[in-house]
Every structure is written in structure tokens, then in C-alpha cells.
Amino acid sequence: MTLPTLLVLDADAPPRLGRLTGRARVLHTGDEGPAALLPEADVLLVWDFRSRAVRDAWPGEGRRPAWVHTASAGVDHLMCPELAASDTVVTNARGVFDQPMAEYVAALVPAVAKDLPRTVGLQRDRRRRHRETRRVAGTRACVVGSGPIGRAIAATLKALGVTPALVGRVPRTGVHGPADLDRLIARADWVIAAAPLTERTRGMFDAHRFGVMQPSAVFVNVGRGELVDEPALAEALRRRWIAGAALDVFTTEPLPADSPLWELPGLLVSPHMSGDTVGRQDEPGARFVDLFERWVAGRPLVNVVDKKRGYVPGH
């Protein structure tokens, strides 16, 4: 019996695939290898979700895998026109990062409201400066992105006494449509970007949107860097059009050391870590192995991405 060939695009810490021993021929590669190895693979596991190597290599010649799985919620790092037009099934790690990312946002909101970053800085300087801070309960949030991550963020913020409004691609019960976005962000204290990156969402937070927000608003991006016009955000912060921002994702990652974003007033910078928790490799790896077992058995895969839309339908 011929074993299926699994090609893994590795990150710093490779996935644990011990359950596949003797059940698959496993090949590992870095950014330099996909072009040569894709024709050999029946299945591709994109473990390094920051890599663009698959998107670059896919249009080449030769056979392509029947199934591609990415250990991330977003698929923009691997999607290209040739993959979108192919018969290859694409799945993602939907459900793995929802609660960790919601907890991250829920930590940012009171930290900013209570001015904790400045408290840490004052302690470092051995300075005592009494201030009054904002209440969290009773504030409003606009969460842009109505998928599992956005819904988890809204639910977690609600537990803090924040009134959330969800905005999605299509309006439905409990979810506002794009036509309501400007109205909702104009009254929100917290504007949270958690949408997938598509042609519709690219650059959606621009000078107009930052101009609509109230001066006391804080903007948080845990979705994709390309959702934001970063120069427009920088201008909004410099001119105090909004009170502050927290970015976990950026147009260029890692964020270059010479980026002006590092020194913007009121901006918190973190290194794409909102969904990363201790032991974070275990669950995505186990989820993939479960999917692999379904695939080998000929059962339908779950978390199948609509390649034209760029996300799993149903949110």
C-alpha cells in the first residue's frame, strides 16, 4: 500500500505528528523548498503561517496537492489566483484561536482604560503621578469581523460590562452589515478589527474611518495588518483624532526596527501574539491530525475555506 505524502512547511517549532507514524510519508521544508516538493505532495500542511512561500511557489509546473491545510485562521498568506481556481481543498484552524484572542483583547481594553502602560513607565522612572482613569463597564465596542474570533471577542467584552456591536459581511440577526459600520464606530469607545483579509476588507480602516471615530476612541487590530492604512492611523494618532491604538499585526512583519510606528503617541505594539498561548503548537497539530484521519477515511473535511471569499463560510 502506498502511503500518502505529506509536505510540511515548517516554522521554528515543527508540529507534533507522531500519530501519523507509519501512516504517511512526511517531508519537511522551509521557505526555499515548496517549489521543488509540491509535485510530490498529496497534502500540504502550512505550519509557518507567516510564510508566503506557498503563494509564490504554487503557480509553478507539476502536480499540486489535493488538500492544503494552514495552521492559522487567515489564508491570505497562501492564497493566489492559481490556488483559488484549482480543485485543491483548503482548510484552516478555525476554532483554535478564538478564546485566546478574545482574552488578549479583553486584557488590552482595561489596560488602556486604566492607563497601565504609563503606570509601568512611571514605575520604571521611580515617579509617582496620580491620575484618574476611565471606567470600562458602560462603554461601547464595535467588533469588525463576525466569525468565531469576533464573536468570542464580543462575548468576552460583554462580560466586562462593555456593550458590543458585531459587524460582518452580511447583516443578519445579531450582526450588522457594512452599511452600519460608520455609524457604529462613530459611537464606539473601542473599535476592534478582527476581520479576515479580503479584497473587500483591505485598507478598510483609512483616514475616513479614523476621522469618523470619536476623540476618546481606541482602535485595536488583531486581524491582519493590511486591514489598516498605517500612515492614516499614524496621522490620526499624531493629530489626536483618536485617543490611542493597539496593533498586534502589521503590513510588514516583523515590524522593522526603523518603523515610525514604534514611537507614535498612544500606540501599543505587540508581535502578532494575540492567539499564541503556552502549548500553542499542541492544539493546531492535533486538529490537523484529526482532519488527516478524516481525509484518509474519505470523510468530508471540516473548516473548508471558500477560496473566492478567503474564509470559512457561515460567519
- 68: which strand partners? 44, 90
Per annotation, catalytic residue among 239, 253, 293, 299: 253
Per annotation, catalytic residue among 55, 169, 209, 272: 272
The widest CA-to-CA distance across the chain, in whole angstroms, is 73
User: How far are the Cα atoms of 11, 27, 33, 74 from residue 40, in angstroms, in the given order?
Assistant: 20, 9, 12, 25
DSSP per position, 17-86: -GGGTTT-EEEEE-TTSHHHHGGG-SEEEE--TT--HHHHHTTSSS---SEEEESSS--TTT--HHHHHS
Cell of 95: 476554532
Which residues of the chain form beta strands (DSSP E)?
5-9, 25-29, 43-46, 67-70, 89-91, 140-144, 163-167, 190-193, 218-221, 244-247, 267-269
Cell of 127: 515617579
* Contacts (Cβ under 8 Å, ≥6 apart) of 159: 106
The helix (H) or strand (E) run that includes residue 238 is helix 230-238
CA dihedral of 76, 81, 86, 91, whole degrees rounded to 10: 0
Catalytic status, residue 94: no
CA dihedral of 253, 254, 257, 260, whole degrees rounded to 10: 30
Distance CA 215, CA 243 (A): 6
Distance CA 300, CA 295 (A): 7
Catalytic status, residue 77: no
Phi and psi at residue 46, to the nearest 5°: -90, 90
Per annotation, catalytic residue among 224, 226, 287, 315: 224
Catalytic status, residue 272: yes
> Would you please indicate which residues are annotated as catalytic (active-site) residues?
224, 253, 272
